[in-house]
Copies of this chain bind each other. A is one copy, B any other.
Amino acid sequence: MHTATLHAESASRPPMPTTSALPAPSRSMARPDAGTVCARVNESLKLLADSVEVQRRIVHAGDTVFQGGQGFQCLYIINSGFFKTLNVAADGREQVVGLHFKGDWMGFDGIAHGQYGCDAIAMDTGEVWSVRYDTLLLAAARQPALLGLLHAAMSREISRDRDSLLSLGTLPADARVADFLRYWAESLSQRGLRADQITLRMTRAEIGNYLGMTLESVSRALSRMARSNVIRFTEKGRRDLCIASTEALASFIQAAMTPASRVLQ
């Protein structure tokens, strides 16, 4: 799928921009490991609970946290559970634009327009905290670390959305599904949960919508991955699955990208 590089210069990169006596940029992007991320999430939640007044709410699968079009007042922070955000176009098209886990924030898109731009929906039982944006800012004036939390959360959200765009734009169906599993497992392990055995909280239709394809394609992709022993379904239901190894997943993605991947039908 259109793997042509966009730039002839991408091999030998152009010289450094204006302000830089900085170390050479390394593309390998040194991800922080799961443990530190988990610690950061917990510390952030603690700091937040100590510094500002948070409203706690228990939600169940299908509950709406906020809706697109609704007036913006609060930001929502996930204490536990799994959530999706749904973007709805004027003509009725709808698209799952984000999956959110413990420590993630939701509702940023409301800041600029004064109203939320998408629906946030719980995919399981969980607890969300809400903080009024204005009181958060007031608190941040005395406690600058709060501002750091906010900005980091927004920044991560932007990075994540762009990774989704990259996946949507450059990966074929099978690789997208595999990459989706990889992302889900990574998110779990970063929160200190076991990532080898994951239970999807979404139907095939929701996954397909999130990945820009049909539910049948998702089903077929999962079947192929199971046949290739990259994943294994547990006895109870086709919602729970095991990921044999992260390496196998990665190599499956890589294999699915090359046209010469029509093995095992």
Contacts and interface: CB of A to CB of B under 8 A. Distances in A.
Interface string A41-75: 00000000000000101000011111111110110
Contacts of A69: 25-29
A165 B168 contact: yes
A12 interface: no
**Chain A binding surface SS class:** mixed
A240 interface: no
Contact of A89 (B18, B94, B170): B170
A260 interface: no
B92 A5 contact: yes
A22 interface: yes
Nearest to A71: B22
A70 B22 contact: yes
A251 to B, nearest CB: 11
Contact of A168 (B74, B137, B212): B212
A68 B27 contact: yes
Contacts of A7: 94
Contact of A111 (B93, B152, B214): B152
Interface string A95-121: 111100000000011111101111000
Contact of A205 (B4, B19, B147): B4
Interface stretch (A155-163, A185-193, A226-234): A155-163
Contacts of A137: 144, 147
A151 B111 contact: yes
A6 B18 CA distance: 48
12 contacts: A4-B205, A5-B94, A13-B67, A19-B73, A22-B70, A87-B166, A93-B170, A141-B141, A164-B165, A169-B210, A169-B211, A170-B212
Interface of A: 2-7, 10, 13-14, 17-20, 22-23, 25-29, 55, 57, 62-71, 73-74, 85-98, 108-113, 115-118, 130, 137, 141, 144, 147, 151-159, 161-166, 168-171, 205-206, 208-214, 254, 257
